[in-house]
Structure 1
Amino acid sequence: MGNRYYYYIIAGTMTANIVAFVPRILINSRMEGMVVAILIGSFIGMGLIYSYTTLMSKFPGKSYADILYEYTPRWFAVFFTLFTASAWFTSGFIFLMGFTFIAKRFINPEASLTSIVLLFLLPLLYGCVMDSKRLLYATEMMLVLIFPILIIIFIKAYTSGNLHWTTMKIPIVNAGHIPAYFTIAAAGYTYDGVMNLAQFNKVFTKKIKIKRGIYITMGIIGILNLVTASFIPIGINGIDGVASINYPWILTSDSFRIELGFFERIFFPFLLLFMAVAILVILHHWHVSYKFLNYALQFPNFTYKGKEVVPYLILTAFLAITLLGVQRIDEIFLFILEKWWFVIVQPLVICHAIVLYFMYRRAKKCGSLS
Structure 2
Amino acid sequence: MARYFYYHVIYVGLINVMIFVPWTLMQHRFNGAVSGMAIAIVAGTLMAYVTTAMFQRFPGMGLPDLVRAFLPRALRIPFNLLGSVVWVTAGILVVYAYSTTIQQFFNPDMNPYLFLLLMTLAGVWGASRCTRTVQFAQEILLLICAPLIIMILFKAVFNPWLDWNAIRVTAGYVNKPPSFVSLCAALFVFAGYNTLAVFNRLIPKGVKIRHLWIIPLFCSFFLLVSFFIPIGFHGTVGVGEFLYIWSLTADSMIMEYGFVYRVLYLFLLLYTALSLMFAMNTWHTAMEFIKACHPKYEPQPDQYPIKAVNWWITLTFGAMTMAYALWSNEERNQWVNQHWLIFRSITDVVLLCLLVWFVIQKKRGHPELVPPSKGATHSRS
Q: Which residue does 1:227 correspond to in 2?
A: 224
Q: Which residue does 2:178 correspond to in 1?
A: 179
Is residue 326 of structure 1 aligned with residue 325 of structure 2?
yes
Question: CA offset at residue 168 of structure 1?
Answer: 0.7
Q: Which residue does 1:339 correspond to in 2?
A: 338
Q: Which residue does 1:268 correspond to in 2?
A: 265
Q: Measure, in 2, the Cα distance between the counterparts of 1:259 and 1:312.
A: 44
Is residue 51 of structure 1 aligned with residue 50 of structure 2?
yes
Q: Which residue does 2:373 correspond to in 1?
A: none
What amino acid is the match of 1:25? T
Q: Which residue does 2:144 correspond to in 1?
A: 145
Q: Measure, in 1, the Cα distance between the counterparts of 2:314 and 2:18.
A: 27
Q: Which residue does 1:91 correspond to in 2?
A: 90
- Uncovered stretches (5+) of structure 2, i.e. residues with no partner: 298-305, 371-381
Question: CA offset at residue 69 of structure 1?
Answer: 0.8
Q: How many aligned residue pairs are there? A: 361
Q: Which residue does 2:6 correspond to in 1?
A: 7
2:124 and 2:315 in contact (8 A); partners too? no
Q: Which residue does 2:376 correspond to in 1?
A: none
What amino acid is the match of 1:224? F
Question: CA offset at residue 210 of structure 1?
Answer: 3.8
After superposition, give the CA deviation of every residue in 1:70-120 in whole Å (9 maximum; x if it has no partner): 121112122211111111111111112111211111122222222221101
Q: Measure, in 2, the Cα distance between the counterparts of 1:48 and 1:275.
A: 29
* 1:11-50 equivalences in 2 (<5 Å): 11-50=10-49
In terms of mean alpha carbon deviation, does 110-119 or 157-166 score higher?
110-119
Q: Measure, in 2, the Cα distance between the counterparts of 1:258 and 1:114.
A: 31
2:60 and 2:202 in contact (8 A); partners too? yes
2:149 and 2:267 in contact (8 A); partners too? yes
1:89 and 1:289 in contact (8 A); partners too? yes
In terms of mean alpha carbon deviation, does 186-195 or 274-283 score higher?
274-283
2:13 and 2:222 in contact (8 A); partners too? yes
Question: CA offset at residue 216 of structure 1?
Answer: 2.5
Give the alignment partner of residue 217 of structure 1, picking from 214, 219, 242: 214
Q: Which residue does 1:102 correspond to in 2?
A: 101
CA distance change for structure 1 residues 105 and 357 in 2, over 3 Å: closer, same or farther? same
Counterpart of 1:209 in 2: which secondary structure? coil
After superposition, give the CA deviation of every residue in 1:6-37 in whole Å (9 maximum; x if it has no partner): 10011110000001120011112111232211
Identity of aligned residues (%): 25
Q: Measure, in 1, the Cα distance between the counterparts of 2:143 and 2:153.
A: 16
CA distance change for structure 1 residues 260 and 103 in 2, over 3 Å: closer, same or farther? same
Give the alignment partner of residue 239 of structure 1, picking from 226, 236, 239: 236
Q: Which residue does 1:157 correspond to in 2?
A: 156
Give the alignment partner of residue 291 of structure 2, picking from 273, 277, 294: 294
Structure 2 length as normaliser, TM-score? Answer: 0.90
Q: Measure, in 2, the Cα distance between the counterparts of 1:107 and 1:229.
A: 22
Q: Which residue does 1:115 correspond to in 2?
A: 114
Q: Measure, in 1, the Cα distance between the counterparts of 2:147 and 2:315.
A: 37
Is residue 200 of structure 1 aligned with residue 199 of structure 2?
yes
Q: Which residue does 1:136 correspond to in 2?
A: 135
Q: Measure, in 1, the Cα distance between the counterparts of 2:142 and 2:357.
A: 35
What amino acid is the match of 2:270? L
Cα RMSD (Å): 1.9
What amino acid is the match of 2:293? A
Q: Measure, in 2, the Cα distance between the counterparts of 1:318 and 1:126.
A: 11
What amino acid is the match of 1:337? V
What amino acid is the match of 2:284? H
Question: CA offset at residue 299 of structure 1?
Answer: 7.2
Q: Measure, in 1, the Cα distance between the counterparts of 2:129 and 2:295.
A: 18
What amino acid is the match of 2:184? A
Question: CA offset at residue 297 of structure 1?
Answer: 3.5
Q: Which residue does 1:279 correspond to in 2?
A: 276
Question: CA offset at residue 207 of structure 1?
Answer: 4.8
What amino acid is the match of 1:192? A
Q: Measure, in 2, the Cα distance between the counterparts of 1:174 and 1:148.
A: 32
2:162 and 2:233 in contact (8 A); partners too? yes
Counterpart of 1:59 in 2: which secondary structure? coil
After superposition, give the CA deviation of every residue in 1:308-357 in whole Å (9 maximum; x if it has no partner): 76444423421221111111100111001101111211011111121122
After superposition, give the CA deviation of every residue in 1:259-295 in whole Å (9 maximum; x if it has no partner): 1222111110011112211221121111100111112
* 1:246-265 equivalences in 2 (<5 Å): 246-265=243-262
Q: Which residue does 1:304 correspond to in 2?
A: none
